[in-house]
Structure 1
Amino acid sequence: MSEASSEYLAPPLESEGPPERGEQEALRKKPKGLTNMFSIFTKGRKKKGQPSAAKTEGKPEPEPQRGDLLSTAEELKAALELGRLEAAAPLLALERELAASAAAGSASEEELVRRQSKVEALYVLLRDQVLSLLRRPLEVAPERLRQALAVLAEQEREDRRAEAAGPGPSALATTRPRRWLQLWRRGVAQEAQERLDQPPPADAEGRTEAERAFLHMGRTLNGDLEAVVERLKPLFPAEFGVVAAYAESYHQHFAAQLTAMAQFELLERDTYLLLVWVQNLYPNDIINSPKLAGQLQGVELGSLLPPRQIRLLEATFLSNEVTSAKELMARALSLESQHWAQDVAPQRLDGHCHSELAIDIIQIISQSQAKAESITANLGVQIKPLLWVELAAFLRSYQRAFDEFLERCRQLGNYRATVMANINSCWSLRTFIKQNQQTPQDLLGYLSKLKSHGFDTLLQSLVERLQPLFKNFSHTRWAASEKTMENIVRTVESALPEFSGLRDCFREELMELVHRHLVKEYIVQLSKRRLVLKTAEQQRHLSGQILANADLIQRFCTEHGSLATWLHQALPTLAEILRLQDPNAIKMEVATYATLYPDFSKGHLSAILAIKGNLSSSDVKSIRSILDVSAGAHGPHKSLFSLINAA
């Protein structure tokens, strides 16, 4: 807290309890007011140029008696008006001497009332001097402040002594307890209110009125309490509880202000900020800050808002935040779809086609999640499933919009680049979902469909170019199958640069699809029932050709990034089935094959066995029966034969 603000850390002079300031104010307006009260200090003394009553009557003026307070009271009044607090001790002595005189009955009632009036008038001066110093304690020299605090402490002790002693002589008015400590604490509360109610400074950062109020009150409270701890606590007596007094006063008014704000309809950002202050910043960054935590132990401040009000605000925040996230994601997709339709070329990032859509969506979800967690961890738990519901809805919309683009915008110049940019977006979204969702399958399913449709689109022209080349297998009756496969591989190789805009991981996935397509189409050609070989030698020759072609496919695809090791046995095992002549050996090979490719059916097996023209129908039936035992997939598997028509 700055020196400028330190002047506020002190109580006002208004008070309750004897003597009341309000009463003194009123007395000023009456003949017997405070001004006239001090005239009793001069009663009985002659005015300049006026003879004394004793001289008028011809009698000598008596010497002051031991108990006469006139000259002593005047000296104390003069000292107190000069701010000399050391007058407090003789004043207390006067008060006690007065009580003793009353108890002894050594003075008349009129004399006691006169003397008590003088004492009480002096106490008004002393009280105002002490409390005025405590009003701006940081501006007061430490020794001076200690002196004021010592007077206040002495008065508290005298209050307790008087209360323990019971009522005094009936001739004297009851003036104890004076409760100056309560007046000081009441002043602290008033000063806290004035400090926190000050208008916040002008703001050039576009904050709302509520945001500026929160920031001002928070900074003021934090700075003032730290100043109390660092500069006032070492000077104040421990029994005064100076830190607790300020903390409780600031807390109560801060809570009152926030409660009043919460009654009105707040902006979304103000609802969030109110919750952040109540649930996080105030309890964690202020009350439990390194400078204050140890000083506030045992001080029961509680929450700034009641639990019911907090729950209502949290429900409002969740609703606002989820709605906002939904609208922001829809807006991001709409803007991206416009770019697609307008044939805007996607950005390039590290040589890959890039879209900001995935980044935008991740930021929207992450920021909403972080906002909730910045209030409380529990609120972060509550908002997460709500956000994932909205993310799932977005992914459905994204998939539909992308499918519509694939269907309608084929003629655009940046069509393929846009497709690759959207496939690349799946990587960021997939990584984000896996890292943050325990059961991501449903969400990943939308991305898998989007990616799959994109791959199909990218590969469509290549598939069309390969189709006539694969037909050469049957047209040439496999006589030049190796040359045909080399032509197929060269065609694929020439097309690979078209996919350079994909991220490395997606090029690998695309290459696996190419790998699968080459294996699948090769099996399709084998299964067309146009080739029947009746001798074992012919079958062994075909088996060798298949192995050579399988090796060419595998080497080429692996060299270009395919990780589809699951395809490596697809063609060699079929070649082995064609080479074998013993039905039992063929059965064993088919059984093994069925475990590798659970979608290998009797129809597919029949098409392969049709090539072996030397098998009897009973042998074919017996071999087919092995699939009755091995039929059915056990667990998830990748499709190969399910893509091949077994008819």
Structure 2
Amino acid sequence: MQPACIMRTPGLLRRSSRFLFRSLRRTLDNGPAAVPGATNGQEVPSRALDHVSRPTSTGAGPEELEGKSVADLITERQLLAAFEQLRHLETRLVAEKASRTFEQDPTGFARRAMDVCLHYDALASEIDAIVNETLGPDGVDAAALAELAGVVRAEEEAHPEPPEDGDFLRTPRHWRQHWEDAVRRSAQERVRSAGPGEAPGAAEGGSALAQVLTELGSLVRRDLQKVQLEVHPVYAAAGFPAWETYLRAFHGAVAQRLQELAHNARGCEQLYVLLDWAANVYGSPDFLGAQNLALSSEPLPPLLAPDVWARLESEYTNFLETKIASCFDGILQLEQSRWADAEAPDVLQGRYHTPLSFDVHMLVAEHVKAAGAISKELEATTLQICARALGLFLPRFEKAFLESKAVNEPHLGANINACEELRTGLLARFPGSFKELEKPLVAATCDFQNRLLRGLQGDVQPLFRVLCTKAWLTQDVLQPLMDKVVAFAGHLERVASPWAQETLQEVHRYVVREYLAHVLGRRERFRGVERLTGSQKMGQDAQAIGNTFQGLGSEATWLGQAIPCVADILGETYKDDIQRHLETLIRSYPDIRRDHVLAILSLRRLGRRRNQRLLQHAQELLRAVVKAGGPRAAGGHVLFEEIEVPTSVDVLITCI
């Protein structure tokens, strides 16, 4: 009857039996030989191994230890002692075979050889059992590990190389490789025990998969810490590289489990959880939880094969593109709900504020940071996705807002501020990826600015109609217009400074331009005292306009001479000085045209020759301006170019 431990590895039994009968075939083929102490045809009983399976009744021999059989020693895990007995029996059996003792009894040799092989297999099976129990709940059996290491090394010393005659008894058992295989199987079983047997479905999202990976990480960390602190020192004393073996075994098992999870991973959350765990949890230097524990002194193979990693990143970015587009849809819906509720924008740090900029910054920063934690390549791809999505979002947002009922100064100012924050913030943080968005952001800001200006222009346009009328000569008709400008400028104080100043200067230019357009386009002319009064009135209006905009902070000082020059030409009593005023006007505003000069001269009743002389001189000045590069060369300011002058009878008379 064989010991129970022998039956643990039937594969080893079959392998040993195969070697045994192959060796026996060679022995029988060699033919009979004389056996000392035996005659031809005499049977030689094989009783030498009876004690292997049961204790003998006589005194202890070299095959026994305190009366214990090899099977008992294996059961008690005295592996080295059991191996020494088997080694002694093997040596004696090989010697008897060499002396042709078994020529007449090959069956006896087979029985004894089989018994030795079975007990070798039992030792190998016990190695499996010790490895399987090492990381179990009962703790580490240091004595068993020491016996395991000792018996493996003893077997390697006893069987360093295969014998030249192919004798299976002296063939190396490769127990070190057997031990490494057992460690790998143990690691695979341990890793598979973490989390559910199947990968979570897509409907469960990333939380279920994250739980599986958390359990997996905890188990691997706990087991490797146990190996490093308890198992490795015992093996190291016997010269066994247990740490590297266990580490690579667990690494391979984790890689296999992760490949299975990756195959079934679906959805943006699951894909990211998988990539993040592989890159930042398992790949972290402090994964084992102690600085003195290192993952490996040599590089380990990739946890995920490069093609699998590339596939996961590709699928993740595809899902991410849809998710980010959906996030921008949500941002637009939130803004539309605020517009529908007629909510006034908040004022933060003296500026109109909408959550738009904050939401976009958070959206981009969150996804870019998450992607950057996995790889630089994924970070760059995520930036491109965010930039494309924002580029598609801007025109939709602008169109939706301008078509809503919330178009007013506070909301327009808030949107201008939001676009400016996005432009400066995103370009400063991600200069390469969002550079192409600078133009769309500036274009959207300009559209909001133009809508803001059109609102003011619609309010003040009717107030210009009373200029250069009889009532204008005696009343302060400009004050209501300037009151609206001051109220409008109050909103600009809550707009980002570059756009607020630019808008204020544009309002300043608009007021001066419209004032001149009404002066030059009027059909009736003042004569005598009214002309002088009108000139004085224009001077007063010019001063009021200049003082108001200066008080508001406008930096468009170049507009200050336009109205006074026309007023001086209108009220100049010494006609020879009109040319001087005209020269000042043309040099200050090189965008003025001949039509404008004719309209200005038509305000006065000058003689034909004087008009011709002034027109000729003005044309020479205008040609000099064109030769010097035109209006754009003189600071790029535009004023008269946008003033349309109607052709009146007075202008025609002036031309003639």
- TM-score past 0.5 threshold: yes
Cα 1:623–1:233 change in 2 (3 A) is same
Q: Is the 1:396–1:446 contact (alpha carbons within 8 Å) kept by the matching residues of 2?
A: no
Q: Which string of whole-angstrom CA distances, capped at 9 and with x for unpartnered residues, describes residues 503-550 of structure 1?
A: 666654543343333333343345336798999xx99x95x9877755
**RMSD over equivalenced CA pairs, Å:** 4.9
For residue 463 of structure 1, what is the aligned residue in structure 2?
460
**Which shifted more, 92-101 or 624-633?**
92-101
Aligned pair 1:74/2:57, yes or no?
no
Shift in Å at residue 103 of structure 1? 7.1
Sequence identity percentage: 19
Q: 1:133 aligns with which of 114, 130, 133?
A: 130
SS at match of 2:632: coil
Mapped to 2, the partners of 1:404 and 1:65 lie a distance apart of: 105
One-letter amino acid of the structure 2 residue matched with residue 624 of structure 1: L
Q: 1:518 aligns with which of 486, 508, 511?
A: 511
For residue 94 of structure 1, what is the aligned residue in structure 2?
88
Ranges in structure 2 where 5+ consecutive residues have no aligned partner? 1-6, 19-46, 570-575, 647-656
Aligned pair 1:568/2:564, yes or no?
no
Shift in Å at residue 101 of structure 1? 3.2
Mapped to 1, the partners of 2:635 and 2:320 lie a distance apart of: 38
Cα 1:568–1:148 change in 2 (3 A) is same
For residue 448 of structure 2, what is the aligned residue in structure 1?
451
Q: Which string of whole-angstrom CA distances, capped at 9 and with x for unpartnered residues, describes residues 283-324 of structure 1?
A: 4568899859954243441351341x4444333322222222
Shift in Å at residue 568 of structure 1? 0.5
Cα 1:610–1:144 change in 2 (3 A) is farther
Q: Is the 2:345–2:411 contact (alpha carbons within 8 Å) kept by the matching residues of 1?
A: yes
Ranges in structure 1 where 5+ consecutive residues have no aligned partner? 1-11, 24-35, 47-62
For residue 271 of structure 2, what is the aligned residue in structure 1?
271
Q: Which string of whole-angstrom CA distances, capped at 9 and with x for unpartnered residues, describes residues 192-221 of structure 1?
A: 222222252899x97554343333334433
Cα 1:328–1:80 change in 2 (3 A) is closer
Cα 1:418–1:628 change in 2 (3 A) is closer
**Which shifted more, 493-502 or 133-142?**
493-502
Cα 1:332–1:324 change in 2 (3 A) is same
- Where do residues 14-413 of structure 1 align in structure 2 (5 Å cutoff)? 14=9, 17=12, 40-41=51-52, 69=63, 74=68, 77-85=71-79, 87=81, 90-91=84-85, 94-95=88-89, 97-98=91-92, 101-102=95-96, 105=99, 116=113, 119-120=116-117, 122-124=119-121, 126-137=123-134, 139-140=139-140, 142=142, 145-159=145-159, 161-163=160-162, 165-167=163-165, 173-174=168-169, 176-200=171-195, 207-237=206-236, 240-264=240-264, 266-278=266-278, 281-283=281-283, 295-307=295-307, 309-347=308-346, 349=348, 353-406=352-405
One-letter amino acid of the structure 1 residue matched with residue 444 of structure 2: L
Cα 1:611–1:144 change in 2 (3 A) is farther
Q: Is the 2:16–2:118 contact (alpha carbons within 8 Å) kept by the matching residues of 1?
A: no
- Where do residues 426-441 of structure 1 align in structure 2 (5 Å cutoff)? 426-435=419-428, 436=430, 437-441=434-438
Cα 1:416–1:547 change in 2 (3 A) is closer
Mapped to 1, the partners of 2:543 and 2:117 lie a distance apart of: 114
Mapped to 1, the partners of 2:314 and 2:334 lie a distance apart of: 30
Mapped to 2, the partners of 1:551 and 1:41 lie a distance apart of: 124
Mapped to 2, the partners of 1:43 and 1:236 lie a distance apart of: 32
Mapped to 2, the partners of 1:344 and 1:573 lie a distance apart of: 42
Q: Is the 2:53–2:69 contact (alpha carbons within 8 Å) kept by the matching residues of 1?
A: no
Q: Which string of whole-angstrom CA distances, capped at 9 and with x for unpartnered residues, describes residues 613-641 of structure 1?
A: 55523223323323332326369956544
Q: Is the 2:51–2:69 contact (alpha carbons within 8 Å) kept by the matching residues of 1?
A: no
Cα 1:133–1:426 change in 2 (3 A) is same
Q: Which string of whole-angstrom CA distances, capped at 9 and with x for unpartnered residues, describes residues 194-249 of structure 1?
A: 2222252899x975543433333344334434543454444434974434433333
Q: TM-score, with normalisation over the residues of structure 2?
A: 0.71
Mapped to 2, the partners of 1:208 and 1:42 lie a distance apart of: 56
Q: Which string of whole-angstrom CA distances, capped at 9 and with x for unpartnered residues, describes residues 157-176 of structure 1?
A: 334x243x5447x5xx4353
For residue 23 of structure 2, what is the aligned residue in structure 1?
none
SS at match of 1:440: helix
One-letter amino acid of the structure 2 residue matched with residue 356 of structure 1: P
Mapped to 2, the partners of 1:499 and 1:44 lie a distance apart of: 106
Q: Is the 2:417–2:496 contact (alpha carbons within 8 Å) kept by the matching residues of 1?
A: yes
One-letter amino acid of the structure 2 residue matched with residue 392 of structure 1: G
Mapped to 2, the partners of 1:345 and 1:100 lie a distance apart of: 101
